[in-house]
Amino acid sequence: SDVGSQKDRVVTEEEWLERWEMGNIGFHKEQGHPLLQKYLDVLLNGRSGLRIFFPLCGKAVEMKWLADMGHSVVGVEVSEQAVKEFFSEHSLPYCEEPVSEISGAKMFQSTSGNISLYCCSIYDLSSSIVGKFDGVWDRGALVAVNPCDRQRYVSLMINLMEKNSSYLLVTVSYDPNKHKGPPFYVPESEIKSLFG
Ligand code: SAH
């Protein structure tokens, strides 16, 4: 298959914000993702009280699931609307504060303290700001990243991982000539070369 057809495609942050404003969010799964249930054991690997990262989190309900299981969840999402909808749709009280290291960024934290959502671009984050993680749920994240930014995205993710962390990655398989994306088609061979 010819992945070249998507190589130069760029979706801007403004376009993502507009999708949220228009309610054009077909990617959001109200019921949560069955693959997280299926592979939860792989993610947790017998551990409890993990720090779990949700890159490009949207308002993924899986953040609530994992927090309810006693884990601490950190997400990053460029749309403030998405972040606010997450808290309001789960009736979770939260507070918001500026992130001193990132100009214009805000962090929204559940009052109980176990869910922290950064409203900024993922490329503004680093381990000195958010720490490192024991697990990552990457659904609609790597596949939503612009193809030209994949290497940068993966380098950051590797940097945010603790030594024994686990990473669940959901991709989609389809003919990239028939759909311009996102979600983009990321072939398995590329995943192997990106993550090493
Ligand atoms: N993972 C979520 C959302 C997937 S859609 C889910 O499973 O439902 C991708 C999301 O990434 C969108 O909500 C979009 O607003 C956000 N996004 C796109 N580029 C981003 C960036 N550079 N930094 C942070 N969030 C971004």
CA dist., res. 154 & res. 58, Å (int)? 19
Judge whether 17 and 196 are in contact, CB under 8 Å. Answer: no
Residues 6+ apart with CB under 8 A from 119: 76, 77, 78, 79, 80, 83, 105, 106, 107, 108
Secondary structure of 131-157 in HEC code, one letter for each residue:
CCEEEEEEECCCCCCCHHHHHHHHHHH
Domain spanning 13-23+32-195 has what CATH number?
3.40.50.150
Q: How far is the CA of 5 from the centre of ligand 1 (A)?
A: 22
Tell me: pLDDT of 169 over 50. Answer: yes
Q: What's the pLDDT tens digit per position in 131-142?
A: 999 999 999 999
- Residue 5 is predicted with a pLDDT of 85
Judge whether 176 and 8 are in contact, CB under 8 Å. Answer: no
Please state the rounded mean pLDDT for residues 7-36.
97
Q: Which of 196, 75, 50, 59 is nearest to 125 (CA)?
A: 75
Determine if residue 21 is labeled as part of a ligand binding site: yes
> Is any ligand 1 atom within 6 A of the Cβ of residue 79?
yes
Tell me: pLDDT of 1 over 70. Answer: no
- The identity of residue 189, as a single letter, is S
- Residue 2 is predicted with a pLDDT of 60
Q: Which of 69, 73, 76, 85 is nearest to 28 (CA)?
A: 85
Ligand 1: which of 16, 35, 143, 156 to mutate, judged by most atoms within 8 Å of the beta carbon? 16
Write down the domain spans for the chain: 13-23+32-195
- Residue 68 is predicted with a pLDDT of 98
Q: What's the pLDDT tens digit per position in 76-106?
A: 999 999 999 999 999 999 999 999 999 999 9
Neighbouring CB atoms inside 10 A of 69's CB total: 14
- Residue 4 is predicted with a pLDDT of 75
- Residue 75 is predicted with a pLDDT of 99
Q: What angle do CA 139, 22, 59 make, to 5 degrees?
A: 30
Determine if residue 107 is labeled as part of a ligand binding site: no
Taking the CA of residue 122 as reference, the ligand 1 atom at the shortest distance is 23
Determine if residue 156 is labeled as part of a ligand binding site: no
Q: What are phi and psi of 87, to 5 degrees?
A: -65, -40
Please state the rounded mean pLDDT for residues 147-163.
98
